[in-house]
Structure 1
């Protein structure tokens, strides 16, 4: 009998209670400081990154081949026969490619590696849905279902500054270098190819958060939906945003989620946004 495991990388941002409930396996991305290296979500937490980011902006790196192989070996030891690995966008990270290479060489599991074309709680919703469907015992059906949800996902981010995206080389199709001098705040989305782009522009922090709220209301008013309010070191603003939208429709499932250190390095402190889809 098949036993299917769901694996993702640490950029999926699902809370620990969901990871534990569904026995989801996480491949840790790496946070690299000058004098030390940390495995994301295992040896370092998001707030630690934000607390020290003015002193040093770390770089990030892929899960190591050793960590990937260890996850696969552990799955075999736990009696799994198959695994679906759902990674963050291949246009933002090389994780998909390195996992695919190792999976193709690994002989003890039947492994499908899926590029989510997204990240953060956008990815988290896909991983959670896949984990809830493991009893189907048909990996293609599970992947088809998460593709359906990927096509329904709505969301965006607003940042305090584009400095960290620019430093990390992940600015994609986001505009705004000159606009930063005029306090222009782009509202950033992720397109179908998994690349950042500018959805809208506002002037100032308050207006950017107000714009995000209006986007949620416009999309989900009087609907049943799942939503994650996403933040990077901005928990109070995230809770305030959630409180302002929680009665616009019927929330089926909700999270207030701090983005992982591997993502926070590239967005910096102050990110606020949402990921959601109609149920």
Structure 2
């Protein structure tokens, strides 16, 4: 009989309570300072990363090889026969490739690595749905078949107070930056079908950017009902204001807000506000 484990990485932005409730394992990315390295979400918080920005902007890296290896050893020891890794876009991180290599060293557990082509809650939702399918008794092959279809139902859109950190981190993708920053142009950023950043729209100033974010949400809600998450990076008050502006929109099945992971915050800088949607087809 199949015993299926679901794991993801710390860029998923799932809350601890959801990870615990559905038994989802998490591989922490690394946050690297000149004199110390921390496991994302485990040994350092997003607030700490933002507070230290003036002193040093850290780098990020893949989960440690020993952590990936230990995950598989633990799963084997606990009697799992199959594992599904639902991971950050391969266009933004080499995490999926690293996990694939380590998985090959553990042939005793059949592993499927799924590239979400996304990040933050748009990644986390896909991991959560995989875990729900396990709970429903779906087979390994059924979950593998369902994930690519579900991937098309989620998107994330966000704007930044500055593109400086995205540029420094080499994650700028298809988003053009420096001239726009001088003119206070705020791009609305999403992740395309190739799993890299691109500009959905542009706004002059932060307030207009927030209004365009809400317009994008409304466009989604006109097509179908949605579950909605408002995500922020060191911008709790701004996120709360967005929640107040959208909470009564028709078609929202659920609405939550939270802060992005420390590793994502390194590349966005303080001030990110975004909206993640899961379109619930047929409702």
Band the TM-score falls in, shorter-chain normalisation: over 0.9
Q: Displaced runs of 4+ in structure 1, greater than 3 A?
A: none
- Provide the residue aligned with 1:97 in structure 2: 97
2:220–2:226: 8 Å Cα contact kept in structure 1?
no
TM-score, scaled to structure 2: 0.95
Unmatched runs of 5 consecutive residues or more in structure 1 = none
Following TM superposition, by how much is the alpha carbon of 1:250 offset from its aligned partner in structure 2, in angstroms? 3.5
- Provide the residue aligned with 1:211 in structure 2: 212
- Provide the residue aligned with 2:130 in structure 1: 130
Could you tell me how far apart the structure 2 residues matched to 1:221 and 1:174 are?
27
Q: 1:233-263 CA deviation, whole Å, 9 max, x = no partner?
A: 0111111111211221243333212111111
SS at match of 2:219: helix
Following TM superposition, by how much is the alpha carbon of 1:108 offset from its aligned partner in structure 2, in angstroms? 2.5
Q: Aligned pair in 2 of structure 1 residues 60, 226: CA closer, same or farther (>3 Å)?
A: same
Following TM superposition, by how much is the alpha carbon of 1:77 offset from its aligned partner in structure 2, in angstroms? 2.1
Could you tell me how far apart the structure 1 residues matched to 2:176 and 2:67 are?
36
Unmatched runs of 5 consecutive residues or more in structure 2 = none
Q: 1:148-183 CA deviation, whole Å, 9 max, x = no partner?
A: 221122331100111001000010000131111111
SS at match of 1:133: helix
1:222–1:250: 8 Å Cα contact kept in structure 2?
no
Moved more, 232-241 or 147-156: 147-156
Following TM superposition, by how much is the alpha carbon of 1:64 offset from its aligned partner in structure 2, in angstroms? 1.2
SS at match of 1:34: coil
Q: 1:106-157 CA deviation, whole Å, 9 max, x = no partner?
A: 1221111111111111001101100101043422321332222211223311
SS at match of 2:178: coil
TM-score, scaled to structure 1: 0.96
- Provide the residue aligned with 2:36 in structure 1: 36
